[in-house]
Amino acid sequence: MNVTMQDSISIAANATNTNVITGQRYDRCPFDAIGNLFCTGSALGLTAELNIGGSSITPPTKVNAQNRLPVVPDDILTQEWEAPEGKLVQVSVVNTTAGALTFFWRIDLSEAGFEQ
Amino acid sequence: MAKVKCFRCSRTGVMFPDDYVEEWGRKYGIGLGPVPISEALTNTYHGEVAEAKDANKTMHPLGVCRAQVDLIEVEEEEFEANKAIIDLEDPDFNKRAAIMRDKQLQKSTKLAGMFPAEVSLAKTRIAERSKVKA
Percent of chain A with pLDDT over 70: 99
Report yes or no: A86 at the B interface, CB cutoff 8 Å. Answer: no
Q: Residue A98's pLDDT band (boundaries 50, 70, 90)?
A: very high
**How far apart are the C-alpha atoms of A93 and B76, rounded to whole Å?**
42
| Whole-number pLDDT of residue A13 | 96
Contact indicator for A64, A40 with CB cutoff of 8 Å: yes
CA–CA separation, B29 vs B20, rounded Å? 9
Per residue in B30-76, pLDDT (tens digit) is 888 899 999 999 999 999 999 998 888 999 999 999 999 999 999 99
Is residue A2 exposed (0-12), middle (13-18) or buried (19+ Cβ within 10 Å)? Answer: exposed
Give the Cα separation of A13 and B44 in Å (integer): 15
**Burial class of residue B110 (count of CB atoms within 10 Å of its CB; 0-12, 13-18, 19+):** exposed
Domain range list for chain B: 3-133
Whether ipTM > 0.85 holds is yes
Chain B positions in Cβ-Cβ contact with residue A64 (cut-off 8 Å) = 31, 33
CB of A14 within 8 Å of a chain B CB? The answer is yes
Question: CB A64 to CB B31 under 8 A?
Answer: yes
Please say whether the beta carbons of A114 and A84 come within 8 A. Answer: yes
Q: Which residues contact B75 (CB under 8 A, 6 or more apart)?
A: B1, B2, B3, B4
> Cβ–Cβ of A43/B63 closer than 8 Å?
yes
| Domain A2-111: which CATH number of 3.40.50.300, 2.60.120.680, 2.40.50.660, 2.60.40.10 | 2.60.120.680
Please name the residues in contact with B121: beta carbons below 8 A apart, sequence gap of 6 or more: none
The greatest distance separating any two alpha carbons of chain B, rounded to the nearest whole angstrom, comes to: 48
Q: How confident is the model at residue B129 (pLDDT cuts 50, 70, 90)?
A: confident
Which run of H or E residues covers position A80?
A: strand A76-83
Question: Which of B64, B91, B97 is facing A13, going by the closest CB pair?
Answer: B97
Nearest CA distance, B102 vs chain A (angstrom): 12
Give the rounded distance of the alpha carbon of B119 from its chain centre: 19
Judge whether B38 and B12 are in contact, CB under 8 Å.
Answer: yes
Question: Residue B59's closest chain A neighbor by CA?
Answer: A100
pLDDT in tens, B71-117: 999 999 999 999 999 999 999 999 999 999 999 999 999 999 999 99
pLDDT band, very low/low/confident/very high, at B130 (cuts 50, 70, 90)? confident
Residue A53 has pLDDT above 60, yes or no: yes
Asked if residue A114 has pLDDT above 90, the reply is: no
Q: In this complex, do A8 and B96 lie within 8 Å of one another by their Cβ atoms?
A: no
Closest CA to B116 of B129, B124, B126, B106: B106
| Alpha-carbon Rg for chain A in angstroms | 14
pLDDT confidence bin for B133, thresholds 50/70/90: low
d(CA A18, CA B81): 41
Could you state, in order of their start, the residue ranges of all structural domains in chain A? 2-111
- pLDDT for the residue numbered B132: 65
Give which of B37, B34, B31 is closest to B66, Cα–Cα. B37
Q: Across the A/B interface, how many CB contacts are shorter than 8 Å? A: 99
The larger pLDDT score, comparing residue A114 to residue B18, is at B18
Average of per-residue pLDDT values in chain A: 95
Nearest one of A93, A43, A96, A45 to A65, comparing CA atoms:
A43
A73 prior amide bond cis, ω within 30: yes
Give the whole-angstrom CA distance, residue B82 versus residue B91: 19
